[in-house]
Structure 1
Amino acid sequence: MDDEQVLDAVGARLRGFRQTLGLSLTELADRSGISASTISRLERGLVRPGLEQLLPLARVYGLPLDELVAAPRVGDPRVHLKAIRRHGLTFIPLGVHGGALQAFKVIYPPASKARALRYHTHPGREWFYVLDGSVNLALADNRTVLKAGEAAEFDTMTPHWIANANADRPAETIAIYGQQGERIHLTGP
């Protein structure tokens, strides 16, 4: 795809990202600081976006600029993973951010160093696979210990928490979240 084709397709991509997140033009305008009419013109391809529009949109969508505009890949094909630390856990994204599902390696600290556990609920589903160690999974009043090689999947509207079952070493999982679940796990207060 040449530069002209990439630029011609940007509007439809912008509209697709907004619709995937379920945002109205007004909601996106409020979050990005760009007027709803400008966003509408960008999405319809009536104007080409500049950095002053793309940067705030990339922040709202949580995407790098090259993915936002579908820039052709050049150079090193490796995905450079940056750890995200939230709520005492370490999340390592396992791919380029985008799409309805996101995969993360999640490292749980030893139980002796973990924060106090609280039940959480949020829209979506969660799936995880234990790579190393063992974790406690609490779903409402049911508690299960999962060991390396075991997986679990559940509706996240069920009150739940996950924690390391081992007091002296970290536990590692691979977790797949839908967009609502990812926002709760990675950007919640």
Structure 2
Amino acid sequence: MVKEQAGQVLAANLRALRAQAGLSMSELARRSGIAKGTLSQLESGTGNPTIETVFSLSNAFQVPVSTLLTERTAPEVVLVRGAGLDVLSSVAVDLRMFRRLDLQDTVFELYDQRVRPGAVQHSAGHPGLEHVVVTSGRLQVGPPNEPYVLDAGDYVCFPADQPHVYSTADEEPVVSVLLLQYPSDQVVSVLASCVSR
């Protein structure tokens, strides 16, 4: 999806989630820590969301990131061209979401993740588990005080609800696959609680 289409998908999903939860723009700004003006731009499809913005909205609504970024479709064959994907960028990380998978009891989000040298990406935590496979470079990921160092071909899985970091272990960029995993009952109960608020 091109950037303009991705912005329109985010705008539609943001409006729908805010309406379902019965939240004013001011209340969503308070819960997410995002300025009302920025939220207004995102809802109109004219904003330029960062990784932090999308994860803040994910935490505010207590839904997977893919709930904000994807349209629901169920084709038998899915072909996603990386060149057409919108990139969410941050201090050290570029993410491109390939797909959301709703399985019987689990929701997965599949991302291409690139980590740039010279900076550290900090996450305060969010629901689910993170699975990371490094395809090139050396990655430091996990608890801020004792991150795991992964070489190409290495894999790690850790609870995402605690603070964690991403950075390169040397001066070379890192290419990796990120798979976010959420229990679907958590997603359903979270959506129900948003609607009942």
Report the TM-score, using the length of structure 2 for normalisation: 0.49
Q: Match for 2:181: what amino acid?
A: G
Instruction: Give the match's secondary structure for 1:118.
Output: strand
Match of 2:137 in 1: 133
Match of 1:106 in 2: 113
Identical aligned pairs, as a percentage? 17
Among 149, 164, 173, the residue aligned to 1:170: 173
Shift of 1:94: 2.8
CA distance in 2, matches of 1:108, 1:171: 5
Q: 1:147 to 1:92 in 2, by over 3 A?
A: same
Shift of 1:24: 10
Q: 1:94 to 1:145 in 2, by over 3 A?
A: same
Q: Tell whether the 8 Å contact from 2:115 to 2:167 is kept in structure 1 after alignment.
A: yes
CA distance in 2, matches of 1:93, 1:137: 19
Q: Match for 1:78: what amino acid?
A: L
Structure 1 unaligned spans of 5+: 1-17, 32-58, 181-189
Q: 1:139 to 1:24 in 2, by over 3 A?
A: same
Aligned residue pairs: how many? Answer: 120
User: Could you give the per-residue CA deviations for residues 5-61 of structure 1, whole angstroms, max 9, x where no partner exists?
Assistant: xxxxxxxxxxxxx9xxxx79841x658xxxxxxxxxxxxxxxxxxxxxxxxxxx975
Matched, 1:94 2:101: no
Q: 1:104 to 1:124 in 2, by over 3 A?
A: same
Q: 1:102 to 1:145 in 2, by over 3 A?
A: same
Q: Which has the larger radius of gyration?
A: 1
Match of 2:165 in 1: 161
Q: How does 1:138-153 map to 2 (within 5 A)?
A: 138-153=142-157
CA distance in 1, matches of 2:177, 2:155: 9
Q: Which has the higher contact order (CA 8 A, sep 6+)?
A: 2
CA distance in 2, matches of 1:136, 1:156: 15
Report the TM-score, using the length of structure 1 for normalisation: 0.51
Q: 1:124 to 1:151 in 2, by over 3 A?
A: same
Shift of 1:123: 1.9
Q: Match for 1:136: what amino acid?
A: Q
Q: How does 1:35-74 map to 2 (within 5 A)?
A: 61-64=68-71, 67-68=72-73
